[in-house]
Amino acid sequence: MAPTSSADYLTQRSQLIAQDRSLRADNAIAKDLSEDERKADEILRRIRTREAQSVWSAENSTKHRHGSQQLFPGMEFLTARETIVETKLFDILSKMPKGGLLHAHLGAMVRADVLLELALSQPAMHVRVPEVISKATIDSVLPQFRGLPQSQWTTNESITDPAYVPNSWVPMKNARDNFSAVLGGPEGFDRWITSAMTINPAEAYGTHNSTIEIWKKFSSTFGVSEGLIFFEPVLREYIRAYFLSSIDDGISYLETRMLFHAKTILDAKGEETMDHKGFLELYDSVVEDVKAKMKEEGREDEFVGSKVKLSTHFKSFIQCSLRATQIIYTVLRILTPEDLEWYLEDCIEMKKKFPHLIAGFDFVGHEDTLRPLIDYAEPLLRFVARQKELGISIPFMFHAGETLGDGTMADMNLYDAILLGTKRIGHGFSLIKHPKLLEICREREICVEVCPISNEILRLTGSMPMHPLPAIMNQGVRVALCSDDPAIFGNMGLSFDFYQVFVASEVNGLATLRTLVWDSIKYSSLEGQQEEEAFAKLERRWPVFIRYILDTYGKFEA
């Protein structure tokens, strides 16, 4: 009905806004904030408004060094990063307990400098290149690393000496120590390797500014880092560093995608003997180590999955089945459907051996250019039937719709993911184009693992204000924010992704943050007592976070 007075108009306006937002997951929580949370919400909003002016406005743009010439909230992350870390809002978000990280690729979870240090401590680690490294080749030639068996260790000195024999192995430490002074010496070596394992703003926003081009660079980083990571002594410390740095950012539960494409990993002797079972044992033992360390430090609330104390005779059985499920078994979408069979069988075997560790199954790799899900429908349907027979459950957690396409193979993956019964959707960037799928996701609570910074760096969006996330959230689809490949993008932890999302929408408030955090546990693989434990830990930590906001910023930002 047309409004009859200005009071009536305002009432109708409020109703219309409320209706429009009624589907949002944070809607109920927004009405249910405690007094302290309401104050914290006001502070957050005020800081956001002030920093939009004091930090992210045109007046500051001249200070700005790389990439885009303009500053604005939610702008290109690689250009904005050093500014973000100085803001009050970032300080607050970095203190927030984040819940779970549900979309993360193991091969890209530890900072390049930390990985380099871990690898350098191993005398077995060698490097080789197809050409001598010089000013002319350093920008195009990529190194290959490998932990060699002792019988194959070399005493070669340098990969920058003109006498270097192409493709011969050089101990990594020698290659670094003797890296030519013209190329910056040992620090030049570190810079070279780091830039081969990360994406910089000149690439993302200049030379590789399209999804196809940036994916070439992105894929090449994995080729360099895998030789450093997948060597048992490094891998063990790498996983530990991944857990501890995540915990430091307030992440208390990790559901990690591990690529099981290679059938073996190098053991401590440099031999290819560590099979998938060996890898899962190693992962498990690091989980236990980290849990023990957190317990020792009285920080059990910061990491989920500690063994539950039970006094019944079921104790040992229940302890064993109650540890956190943590690994999503992934393969590359280059496999033929025939080759996939071996992996599906292997995945079932691993699930039987490590019921607490295997949380799901997924395909990885560039959706725009590699095989679509429909190619695998038959073996996947048999896989589901096999699980029923065996009484086990390995839900699909498919990457789907990580694309700008409309009706393309990658976009169509969304239909297959949903028909195949996916529990969550990885990325779902193109989901917003599909009204029926949005409705299904909302009704079946298929949570979308949204990776905002990844999407921006891989050029699906120019900046956060252009990202479909607000539209997805307004449609009532459940979301978990995720970092995807932070070692490559520089968005370590989850604080950066939360930051970019929070500044890019005026609707977002404390209730949004709370909902995203709680949903990251609700839509994780945690169930029953473990899920309750995770929520209980969050309930204890959240008020400490709210107190921090009030105590640190309450006076100044009132």
Is position 276 an interface residue for ligand NOS (rule: CB under 6 A)?
no
- Considering beta carbons, is residue 399 or 514 the nearer one to ligand NOS? 399
* Residue 42, CA atoms < 13 Å, CB-side half-sphere: 11
Q: Read out DSSP for 148-187? A: --GGG------SSSTT--TT--EEHHHHHHT--GGGTHHH
Using CB under 6 A as the criterion, what x/- string covers residues 281-300 for binding ligand NOS?
--------------------
Is position 402 an interface residue for ligand NOS (rule: CB under 6 A)?
yes
Given a contact cutoff of 8 angstroms between Cβ atoms, the answer to whether 520 and 100 are in contact is: yes
3 state SS for 343-374: HHHHHHHHHHHCCCCEEEEEEECCCCCCCCHH
Is position 484 an interface residue for ligand NOS (rule: CB under 6 A)?
yes
The residue behind tokens 């559901």 is 255
346: exposed, middle or buried (Cβ count in 10 Å: 0-12, 13-18, 19+): middle
Using CB under 6 A as the criterion, what x/- string covers residues 413-452 for binding ligand NOS?
----------------------------------------
Helices marked H in 25-165: 27-31, 35-54, 77-84, 88-95, 112-120
Instruction: Quote the CA–CA distance of 185 and 177 in Å, as a whole number.
Output: 7
Q: How far is the CB of 440 from ligand NOS (least distance, A)?
A: 22
| Contact positions with ligand NOS (CB under 6 A) in 330-349 | 332
- Considering beta carbons, is residue 137 or 219 the nearer one to ligand NOS? 219
Nearest residue to 353 via CA among 381, 332, 388, 327: 327
Q: Read out DSSP for 377-395? A: HHHHHHHHHHHHHHT----
Nearest residue to 116 via CA among 131, 127, 105: 127
245: tokens are 């740095």
- Considering beta carbons, is residue 216 or 382 the nearer one to ligand NOS? 216
- Considering beta carbons, is residue 127 or 259 the nearer one to ligand NOS? 259
- Considering beta carbons, is residue 205 or 215 the nearer one to ligand NOS? 215
Is position 255 an interface residue for ligand NOS (rule: CB under 6 A)?
no
Q: How far is the CB of 277 from ligand NOS (least distance, A)?
A: 19
144-147/125-128 β-pairing = antiparallel
Number of residues that bind ligand NOS (CB under 6 A): 14
Binding residue (CB under 6 A) for ligand NOS from 224, 241, 259, 487: 259
Q: How far is the CB of 223 from ligand NOS (least distance, A)?
A: 9
Binding residue (CB under 6 A) for ligand NOS from 48, 105, 208, 351: 105
| Contact positions with ligand NOS (CB under 6 A) in 162-221 | 219
- Considering beta carbons, is residue 147 or 452 the nearer one to ligand NOS? 452
Residue of this chain nearest to ligand NOS (CB atom): 364
Is position 262 an interface residue for ligand NOS (rule: CB under 6 A)?
no
- Considering beta carbons, is residue 104 or 521 the nearer one to ligand NOS? 104
The residue behind tokens 């236990």 is 288
Is position 399 an interface residue for ligand NOS (rule: CB under 6 A)?
yes
Using CB under 6 A as the criterion, what x/- string covers residues 349-388 for binding ligand NOS?
---------------xx-----------------------
* Residue 350, CA atoms < 13 Å, CB-side half-sphere: 30
Which run of H or of E encompasses 435? Answer: helix 435-444
Report the interface residues with ligand NOS, using CB under 6 A: 105, 107, 219, 222, 257, 259, 332, 364-365, 399, 402, 454, 484-485
